[in-house]
Every structure is written in C-alpha cells, then in structure tokens.
Amino acid sequence: MSLKVPKANNLQLFKEGYKQAQGLEDAVLRNIQAVSELSDLVRTSFGPNGRNKLVINHLGRLFVTSDAATIIREIEVVHPAAKLLVMASQAQESEMGDATNTVLIFAGELLKRAESLLVMGLHPSEVIKGYELALAKALAELETLSTYSLPKPFTLEALASAFRPAIASKQYGFEDTLSKLVAEAVLAVMPSNPKSFNVDNVRVVKIMGGNLSMSKVVQGMVFGREPEGMADDTSFLLHAKVAVFTSALDISQTETKGTVLLKNADEMLNFTTGEEKQLEKIIKEIADAGVKVVIGGSSVGELALHYFNRFNIAVIKVLSKFDLRRLCRVVNATPLARMGAPTPEEAGFVDVFETVEIGGDRVTVLRQLVPGDQGYDPTGQGEKTRTATIVLRGATANHLDDLERAVDDGVNVVKSLMKDSRLVPGAGATELELSKRVEEYGSGLKGLVQHAVKRYASALEVVPRTLVENAFGGAEGNEILSQLWTKHAREDGPVWGIDIELERDGTLRATEHEIYDSLAAKSWAIRLATEAAISVLSVDSIIMSKPAGGPKVPQQAGNWDDDD
C-alpha cells in the first residue's frame, strides 16, 4: 500500500495580485455568458429595422448609430473573452467593411448553442471538432449558392443594386438615394483595372443644412473652405502647378528669445525689413517655378499671405494629414517640410482648381480631367489618379455622421466585389439554406460530433430570426420563419428570404427584388465568427496578472497638509 503524500500548503505559483479562474463553471461558461451579453447588445441593431444605440464615449462624444463596428469601438469592451469577438469583428471591418454585426451575433449564437452541450457533459474538444466540420461544409455549400455576378463593364444600376442592401441596413428608406450617389462616385474613379480600385479615392464631405436630396457627387477633392488668399483670378485655374508644404507658411521663429534695443525711428522701420525681404525672395522663387496653387498643412502667416496675393498664388489650408496625403497622390506631388521652390519632380499638377458654392457654403474643388471633359489635355503622361467627393447634406451632425458610415459600408462592398464579383441571395435566404444543408449533413454523421454540427446548423438560423424579430417581434416572427422553412424545402428554396415590409406572408424572392449580399463578405463573416467561437471554447483557464501602477487612492477632500 502506497503512502499518501501530503500536499504542500500555501503553494504560491504566481506573484501576489494574480487572479485565476479555471474549470467548466468558472472559465468556459462565464466566457460564454460574457460573449452572449455582447452579442445581445448589438443584435437589436441588426438589419434595416435595427435600433440605434446612443453611445457616449470616454471623451464625452455622442454617437447615435446602428453600426456595430462603431458601437463596439466606442464602448471599450474589457472582458478578455468578449475581446476575442471584438477582434474578429474588427478583422471583418478591415477586410470587407461590412457584415461586422453578423460576426458578433453568429459567434454569440454558436456559443449559446454550445453551452447546453457542455452542461449535458460533452467535452469542449468534441464541440470544437463538430464546429470545424460544420464550417467546412457551410463554406463549401456557400460556393454553390451564388446566383448572380456583377456584369462587366460596370453600370450605374448594377453597382447601385449590388450594395443597396448594405446601405439599407444602416439607412433604411434612404438606400436608393445613397446607393446612386455611391455608384456615381465609384464609377467616376474606377481605374482601367477594377481590382486596383482604392476606397481612398472616394471621399465624403459633410455640409450642415438642407436634406439628403440636396447631396451630390463632385468630381475631384472638395475642401469645405475657401482659399486663404484674395489674389486676383484664382477662383478658377486651369492646368495649374501645385506645391504642397507640411510646414507652416510663415517666418520661421528663432529657438531663443532675444532683446533688441532700438534707438531711433529708422532702426524701428528697418528692423523687420530683412526677414520681409527674405520671405519675399522665397515666395518669388515659388512663383518663378510656375506654381499657381500652394497647399499648406499648417498655419499661413499674414505676411506670407500678402506676398502670395502679390504673386497671384492661391493658398489653401488642409489641416488633416490624411487629406494631405490623399491630395499628394491625386496631384502627384511630394509634400515638402521646408518652405521654398519645389523641384520639377516635387511639384504636382492639377487640371482644375476652382471655388464653387454648395448650399450657401463656399468650397474649394481640385480635380483632374478625364477624356471627354471640356479642357482635357491628351498630352498628359500616364493614368491620373482620379478622385470623387460625395457632398452629404443633413440637418444635424449626428445624422451626417451616420450617413457617412452608410456610404463607407457601400464603398467597402464595392472593394470586396472587385476581388470577387459573385453575389448570393440576401434577406436571410442564404443563411437559412445553409442551415438546412448543414443540418442534413449532421444527420448523416456518427458519434458525438453530430450534435455539435446540428447545433451549428440551428445557430445559422439566427440571421433570419434576428431580421424577423427586429421587424415584427417574436410571435409573428415564428410564423414567418415557419413559412420560410416550408419554401426552402421547394426547388427554388435558396432564393426565398424575409420580407420586412410584410406585403404578403412575410417572405419574398430575394433575386426578384435585387436583394444580394457579397459572397466573399459572407464567407469571411462565417469563418471569423466560427474561429472566434472556437477560440473561446478552447479556453479552460483565465489567468490575470495584477494591473500595473500604484493603488487607486481616492482624492482627499480639503487641503493636502490639513491636520486630521
């Protein structure tokens, strides 16, 4: 008989202040609960009838939006398991720009379905294996569901219909207006090779006042301010050379302070003459180099402005570093950190520089002409970087911000369609068909993994179910889902989706109403959500170290040296 070895008491593995949670109850189920809360938070914001969230971030800035990417970015999630889900949705946002909410609600549903299996006694590894099999089957079936591809060459109507559902999910009711604006802007900047389409070439400028119907697309870059100088004949310039400076356009200040003793009036008059002559010489060199437009990335001094006006050079301030970089790409200029005449390689070139009025506001437009435009110069070398700006009008800043997010989603859908032009039926039709096919696949499997595969299939139903719940509520929603399941059993089943306007029985043929989703975006969303859920399920222990920094001592009232 072996002797019992006594366990050592007070065995300290970690430094003081560490927290450790392990086991099914403390780690796995708590992680699932945290992820479910995050998923439920954004679930009500899904689809065209999704509710807005009013979020006030740590800086006190107000956000009123149903955009899941904005919501989770501003609420600052700290739970480690929920952060895994946030990172998956951020990966979806950066890669595809759309379907971030799908990632969150699908991953949350997968974990909810896994919870009951774990409580019944299945090991997490069995659930993970089943989910991996179901993912492979779902992605394989998704490839067969494509019913439509974008026709080439691209037309305004085809592009607008392709990303109308993405915009409708953010701005239901305005999707027709916004999708036409985005399609017009995208076509204006489309390069000869569509795969090299750059989303940065479509900008958004928000001008307060008016309503959405007054919004329009302006060919070129638009800045919501007039040029700084009041030089003659600079409100419209054709084929102008451009110099871009990141530094302040002013007299350079000395690093040390000095005291100057002036003894008479002549000394006072001559005191600033030297630096004035030096500044005039620099600006004359810029003018002699043929520069007609100067872009400043910082402040413009009054004296420098005086000389720019004298030499008939238009000056405009662009304070955003992103806009300055984008402008350099459009005019093909090198940003200069010092004030002086640019070399021929550093100078840029713009076809049209003009000041126009939009809705009572004076704005400056820089644009490159394309073949067919009046004044186009065919001798220009190489393909010019074209840019288009969507000028959005609206009554409030919050509404304009939300319109901008919808436009960004639309432009990003175009980016994903340039890589893969295949589209699948929208309105929840694709997810329900995948759910049906994965369920059939799970029924043919043997062993414990079949339970996980079937739970995966039922989790896919969360997309149409959420669309229905957000549009009609629970009782009527169950009836509509039953109708949808019946129609998916037919031959033309894969194209039937949810009709959120409830015109007939709550279902519609998505292809007839031109409701399409990007196949690539859906594939990424399903893959990222499954991987996030598997990552959470594979965790069996949470080890948190003591936060850095000293103790959080509350501020004492009264003076610091008062006696107690």
Q: Confidence class of residue 7 from pLDDT cuts 50, 70 and 90?
A: low
Handedness of CA 549, 551, 557, 562 (dihedral sign): negative
Instruction: Look at 161 and 25; give whichever has higher pLDDT.
Output: 161
Q: How far is it, in rounded angstroms, from Cα 15 to Cα 543?
A: 12
Check which CATH number belongs to the domain holding 25 and give it: 1.10.560.10
Q: Which residues pair with 218 in a beta bridge?
A: 389
For residue 503, the model assigns a pLDDT of 62
For residue 510, the model assigns a pLDDT of 72
Name the domain boundary from 334, 358, 384.
384
Q: Is the pLDDT of residue 555 over 60?
A: no
Name the domain boundary from 366, 384, 402.
384
Q: What is the CA radius of gyration of the chain?
A: 31
Q: Confidence class of residue 381 from pLDDT cuts 50, 70 and 90?
A: very low
For residue 359, the model assigns a pLDDT of 67
Beta strand residue intervals within 359-428, DSSP E: 361-367, 388-394, 422-425
Is the residue at 315 inside a domain? yes
For residue 283, the model assigns a pLDDT of 78
Q: Dump pLDDT digits (tens) for 131-173.
A: 888 888 888 888 887 777 777 777 777 787 777 777 877 777 7
Q: Are 435 and 341 part of one and the same domain? A: no
Q: How far is it, in rounded angstroms, from Cα 41 to Cα 29?
A: 18
Helix (H/G/I), strand (E/B), else coil: 424: strand
Q: Are 325 and 471 part of one and the same domain? A: no
Q: What's the CA angle centered on 303, arms 301 and 305, to 5 degrees?
A: 70
Is the residue at 376 inside a domain? yes
Which of 85-99, 180-194, 474-488, 528-542 shows the lowest per-residue confidence on average (mean pLDDT)?
A: 474-488
Helix (H/G/I), strand (E/B), else coil: 422: strand
For residue 281, the model assigns a pLDDT of 79
Q: What's the CA angle centered on 253, arms 251 and 256, to 5 degrees?
A: 160
* Burial of 445 from C-beta contacts in 10 A (0-12 / 13-18 / 19+): middle
Percent of the chain with pLDDT over 70: 81
Q: Are 370 and 447 part of one and the same domain? A: no
Q: How far is it, in rounded angstroms, from Cα 119 to Cα 536?
A: 16
Name the domain boundary from 351, 384, 417.
384
Q: Dump pLDDT digits (tens) for 429-458.
A: 888 888 888 888 878 778 788 888 888 888
Q: Are 366 and 506 part of one and the same domain? A: no
| SS3 per residue for 484-542 | HHHHHCCCCHHHEEECCCCCCCCEEECCCCCCEEEHHHHHHHHHHHHHHHHHHHCCCEE
Exposure of 341 in the CB half-sphere (CA atoms within 13 A): 14
Q: Is the pLDDT of residue 382 over 50?
A: no
Q: Quickly count: other Cβ atoms within 10 Å of residue 224's Cβ.
A: 14
Q: Are 34 and 129 part of one and the same domain? A: yes
Q: What is the mean pLDDT of residues 5-30?
A: 62
Q: Are 130 and 252 part of one and the same domain? A: no
Q: Are 323 and 472 part of one and the same domain? A: no
Placement of tokens 């958004």 in the chain: 204
Is the residue at 230 inside a domain? yes
Q: Are 379 and 431 part of one and the same domain? A: no
Check which CATH number belongs to the domain holding 320 and give it: 3.50.7.10
Q: Are 359 and 472 part of one and the same domain? A: no
Instruction: Look at 79 and 555; give whichever has higher pLDDT.
Output: 79
Is the residue at 179 inside a domain? no
Residue in 335, 372, 375, 334 with CA at minimum distance from that of residue 354: 375
Q: What are the tokens at 106?
A: 């699908």
Contact 204, 181 (CB under 8 A): no
Q: How far is it, in rounded angstroms, from Cα 406 to Cα 175?
A: 9
Is the residue at 405 inside a domain? no
pTM of the predicted model, to two decimals?
0.75
Q: Is the pLDDT of residue 530 over 80?
A: yes
Q: Is the pLDDT of residue 61 over 70?
A: yes
For residue 564, the model assigns a pLDDT of 47
Is the residue at 99 inside a domain? yes
Q: How far is it, in rounded angstroms, from Cα 365 to Cα 370?
A: 15
For residue 502, the model assigns a pLDDT of 66
Instruction: Look at 400 and 512; give whichever has higher pLDDT.
Output: 400
Q: How far is it, in rounded angstroms, from Cα 358 to Cα 356?
A: 7
For residue 197, the model assigns a pLDDT of 76
Residues 6+ apart with CB under 8 A from 376: 351, 369, 370
Q: Is the pLDDT of residue 469 over 70?
A: yes
Residue-range definition of the domain harbouring residue 248: 220-384
Q: Are 234 and 364 part of one and the same domain? A: yes
Alpha-helical segments (H) within 122-250? 124-143, 156-168, 175-189
Q: How far is it, in rounded angstroms, from Cα 249 to Cα 302?
A: 9
Q: Number of structural domains, the chain? A: 2
For residue 439, the model assigns a pLDDT of 82
Q: Confidence class of residue 5 from pLDDT cuts 50, 70 and 90?
A: low
Placement of tokens 């059939």 in the chain: 440
Contact 301, 251 (CB under 8 A): yes
Residue in 536, 211, 516 with CA at minimum distance from that of residue 391: 211
Q: Are 240 and 297 part of one and the same domain? A: yes
Q: What are the tokens at 537?
A: 């399920």
Residue in 61, 90, 60 with CA at minimum distance from that of residue 73: 90
The number of residues making up the chain comes to 564
Strand pairing of 291-296 and 314-317? parallel
Q: Are 476 and 363 part of one and the same domain? A: no
Helix axes 68-75, 29-43, angle to 10 degrees: 130
Q: Confidence class of residue 22 from pLDDT cuts 50, 70 and 90?
A: low
Q: How far is it, in rounded angstroms, from Cα 32 to Cα 108?
A: 8
Letter for the amino acid at 469?
E
Q: Dump pLDDT digits (tens) for 182-220.
A: 888 888 777 777 777 777 778 888 887 777 887 888 777
Q: What are the tokens at 24?
A: 């099914």
Residue in 305, 307, 317 with CA at minimum distance from that of residue 364: 317
Contact 1, 84 (CB under 8 A): no
Is the residue at 101 inside a domain? yes
Is the residue at 437 inside a domain? yes
Chain mean pLDDT for the chain: 76
Pick from 47-61, 129-143, 158-172, 231-245 the range whose average pLDDT is largest: 129-143
